[in-house]
Amino acid sequence: MSTDISLRVLSESLGGKVLVRLRNGRMLRGILQGYDQHMNLILEQAEELDDENTSSKQLGTIVVRGDNIIMVSPTIKEKK
Amino acid sequence: MSTDISLRVLSESLGGKVLVRLRNGRMLRGILQGYDQHMNLILEQAEELDDENTSSKQLGTIVVRGDNIIMVSPTIKEKK
Amino acid sequence: MSTDISLRVLSESLGGKVLVRLRNGRMLRGILQGYDQHMNLILEQAEELDDENTSSKQLGTIVVRGDNIIMVSPTIKEKK
Amino acid sequence: MSTDISLRVLSESLGGKVLVRLRNGRMLRGILQGYDQHMNLILEQAEELDDENTSSKQLGTIVVRGDNIIMVSPTIKEKK
Amino acid sequence: MSTDISLRVLSESLGGKVLVRLRNGRMLRGILQGYDQHMNLILEQAEELDDENTSSKQLGTIVVRGDNIIMVSPTIKEKK
Amino acid sequence: MSTDISLRVLSESLGGKVLVRLRNGRMLRGILQGYDQHMNLILEQAEELDDENTSSKQLGTIVVRGDNIIMVSPTIKEKK
Amino acid sequence: MSTDISLRVLSESLGGKVLVRLRNGRMLRGILQGYDQHMNLILEQAEELDDENTSSKQLGTIVVRGDNIIMVSPTIKEKK
């Protein structure tokens, strides 16, 4: 099994929307513009979601440190 | 004892359903599609379980960071 | 003193039942089938114990990440 | 995908205002004067924000350790 | 100052009783049978102590992961 | 951007008073006498501050471990 | 600035009394007999202090793991 399996999933998600669950219990949604091997993420048009997954706060472009992330979920996108 | 004993169990679980207990107290279930040496997991058809192990939330495909994982349990699958 | 003193004890416990106390306060019991240098453990017939050390939940085969473990205790086994 | 994707975003933010969310729940705003590969940040005219993102405390120049940071958000600046 | 100052104290404590305070607030006492450079300890005849340092639970032989340990205290032994 | 940007700010603060916010919520003030690449700090005439930034406890010379630090703020000093 | 600035302060404190504040909120006092590059400390005649810095518990000789330490404070000694 390749070492960069999780990076491959992130690679396929570039340009698409992803959901990110953070350790502090918060959920983010944004367009994945980049990532690195620490799972640091660059999200554009990022927004914080409340419990019903509706947007509660606009964050714009953000750099999310990977060590705060529990899971990343690519949302459906056409070109995949 | 081999260094990659835990990876071998994960390897044998590829394509099968696994249960994942997270440090934040939550439980996930999904089809294991990949992993790496950090125990980062790729799960498909993932779902969050409530205390009775019934599905409470559909998550789709997710990347789970290994450092949030307490334990992974392969569930029975035929070809094993 | 050897570097792998803790691994030697684990080695001698292979095939026998061990008790594992986790950082989240839970206790596991199972047959030790493997381990690695991170103290990741493979347990078979694993079960979660309640405070009186009676089984409260069957877990089957599990991979336990070593960084969640406080202590491992081999239980008595004949061939030792 | 480049290893230093998050550093590139920080690089483009140099001289501009950034919002920094910390693990302890606090939010900082300041002019980004520097950073390193640990995401340690140098902020000038830094201020701590309350929940409505209005300034609650002037901090002057600060060095923020990267391992306390959840996310960094560049705010709009002209020359970008 | 030697790098292995703490290991030297542990070395001198081999075969004697030690008190171990854990991060979770618990206290252990047992005969030190081994250790490694991570301060993983092997204790025999280990017991958990309550607040008055009287034994509250017999643990037998245990492997204690060093990263859960706050401090180790050798108790008096003759051959030292 | 240089790797040691945060160390450069600390270097310029040597001999001056700095404010240090710790992860445990406490605030320290003292004269910076030294530091290393882990952001361990040597403070002289250190004091713990209460919420109004008035001194609540004299600590004398202290070594502060860097991994407890959230941020360091140089206070104004003449020779800068 | 030297890498071992904090170790130098510890070196000068050898044989003298030091105060050690731990992450769990406790305070220790003892004679510093040794240390290593992880800031693991060997204290003799160690005692735990209550909030008024009066001794509440005799600990004897202890090995304190450095990663539990917030700060170390040398107390005045003649030969310095």
For D57-75, the pLDDT digits (tens) are: 899 999 999 999 999 999 7
- Tell me which residue of A46, A73, A65 sits closest to A57, measured CA to CA: A46
pLDDT of C3 over the 60 cut: no
| C-alpha span between B8 and B6 (Å, rounded) | 5
C18 burial (CB, 10 Å; 0-12 / 13-18 / 19+) is buried
pLDDT of A33 over the 50 cut: yes
Taking the Cβ of residue D20 and every Cβ of chain F, the question of whether any pair is shorter than 8 Å is answered with no
pLDDT of E2 over the 60 cut: no
Diameter of chain D measured on Cα atoms: 39
Predicted complex ipTM: 0.88
Which parts of chain F register pLDDT below 50? 1-2, 77-80
Half-sphere exposure of G58 (CA within 13 A, CB side): 3
The pLDDT, as a whole number, for residue B78 is: 42
The pLDDT, as a whole number, for residue B6 is: 85
Taking the Cβ of residue F74 and every Cβ of chain D, the question of whether any pair is shorter than 8 Å is answered with yes
| C-alpha span between E34 and F19 (Å, rounded) | 43
Contacts for C49 with CB less than 8 Å, ≥ 6 apart: C19, C26, C27, C28, C29, C55, C56
Taking the Cβ of residue G78 and every Cβ of chain F, the question of whether any pair is shorter than 8 Å is answered with no
C37: closest chain B residue by CA: B3
Q: Compare E51 and D8 and report the one with higher pLDDT.
A: D8
| C-alpha span between D42 and D47 (Å, rounded) | 13
Whether residue D29 contacts residue D45, with contact meaning beta carbons closer than 8 Å, is answered with: no
Half-sphere exposure of B61 (CA within 13 A, CB side): 16
Helix (H) or strand (E) holding G23: none
- DSSP 8-state class, residue E11: H
Please count the residue pairs, one from chain B and one from chain C, whose beta carbons lie less than 8 angstroms apart.
Answer: 59
Q: Compare E15 and B51 and report the one with higher pLDDT.
A: E15
User: Hey, of B8, B63, B64, which one would you mutate to test binding to chain A, going by the most A CBs within 10 A of its CB?
Assistant: B63
| C-alpha span between C80 and D24 (Å, rounded) | 49
- D65 contacts in A (CB within 8 Å)? none
Helix (H) or strand (E) holding A9: helix A5-13
Q: Which two tokens stand for residue F46?
A: 């250190």
- Tell me which residue of E22, E21, E45, E23 sits closest to E32, measured CA to CA: E45
Mean pLDDT of chain C: 87
Mean pLDDT of chain D: 87
Question: Average of pLDDT values for E52-65?
Answer: 87
What chain C holds in terms of domains, given with CATH numbers, is 5-74 (2.30.30.100)
Q: Which two tokens stand for residue D34?
A: 């520097």
Q: Amino acid letter at E22?
A: L
The percentage of residues in chain A with a pLDDT greater than 70, rounded to a whole number, is: 89
- Tell me which residue of B35, E62, B38, B5 sits closest to C35, measured CA to CA: B5
Taking the Cβ of residue G63 and every Cβ of chain E, the question of whether any pair is shorter than 8 Å is answered with yes
Cβ separation D1–A40 shorter than 8 A: no
Each residue's pLDDT tens digit, A35-61: 998 899 999 999 999 877 777 889 999
Contacts for F54 with CB less than 8 Å, ≥ 6 apart: none
The pLDDT, as a whole number, for residue E79 is: 42
Q: What's the pTM? A: 0.88
| C-alpha span between D41 and D11 (Å, rounded) | 11
- Tell me which residue of A34, A21, A31 sits closest to A70, measured CA to CA: A21
Whether residue D69 contacts residue D56, with contact meaning beta carbons closer than 8 Å, is answered with: no
The percentage of residues in chain B with a pLDDT greater than 70, rounded to a whole number, is: 89
Task: Please identify which residue in the block is written with the tokens 């034994």.
Answer: E55
Q: Amino acid letter at B30?
A: G
Question: Average of pLDDT values for C9-28?
Answer: 94
- Tell me which residue of A34, A30, A45, A12 sits closest to D6, measured CA to CA: A34
pLDDT of A2 over the 60 cut: no
Taking the Cβ of residue D45 and every Cβ of chain F, the question of whether any pair is shorter than 8 Å is answered with no
Q: Compare D67 and C50 and report the one with higher pLDDT.
A: D67
pLDDT of E73 over the 90 cut: yes
The pLDDT, as a whole number, for residue D3 is: 53
pLDDT of E46 over the 90 cut: yes
**∠ Cα C47 C49 C55 (to 5°):** 65
pLDDT of A1 over the 90 cut: no
Residues facing residue A47 across a β-bridge: A29, A58
| C-alpha span between G49 and G29 (Å, rounded) | 7
- B25 contacts in C (CB within 8 Å)? 24
Contacts for B51 with CB less than 8 Å, ≥ 6 apart: none
- B70 contacts in C (CB within 8 Å)? 22, 24, 64-65, 68
Which parts of chain G register pLDDT below 70? 1-3, 76-80
Question: Average of pLDDT values for E53-58?
Answer: 81
pLDDT of D77 over the 60 cut: no
Cβ separation C4–E34 shorter than 8 A: no
The pLDDT, as a whole number, for residue F79 is: 42
Question: Average of pLDDT values for C65-75?
Answer: 94
The pLDDT, as a whole number, for residue F53 is: 73
The pLDDT, as a whole number, for residue C75 is: 77
- Please state the φ and ψ torsions of residue A55, each to the nearest 5 degrees: -65, 130
pLDDT of A80 over the 70 cut: no
- B30 contacts in A (CB within 8 Å)? none
The pLDDT, as a whole number, for residue E53 is: 73
D57: closest chain F residue by CA: F52
- Judging contact as 3 or more Cβ pairs under 8 Å, the answer for A and D is yes
Q: Across chain C, where does the E strand assignment appear?
A: 17-22, 27-35, 41-49, 55-64, 69-74
Torsion of Cα atoms, E41 then E47 then E53 then E54, to 10°: -170
The pLDDT, as a whole number, for residue E55 is: 77
Q: Amino acid letter at C18?
A: V
Mean pLDDT of chain A: 87
| C-alpha span between G1 and F71 (Å, rounded) | 19
> Quick one: how far is CA G64 from the chain centroid?
8
Please count the residue pairs, one from chain A and one from chain B, whose beta carbons lie less than 8 angstroms apart.
Answer: 59
The pLDDT, as a whole number, for residue B3 is: 53
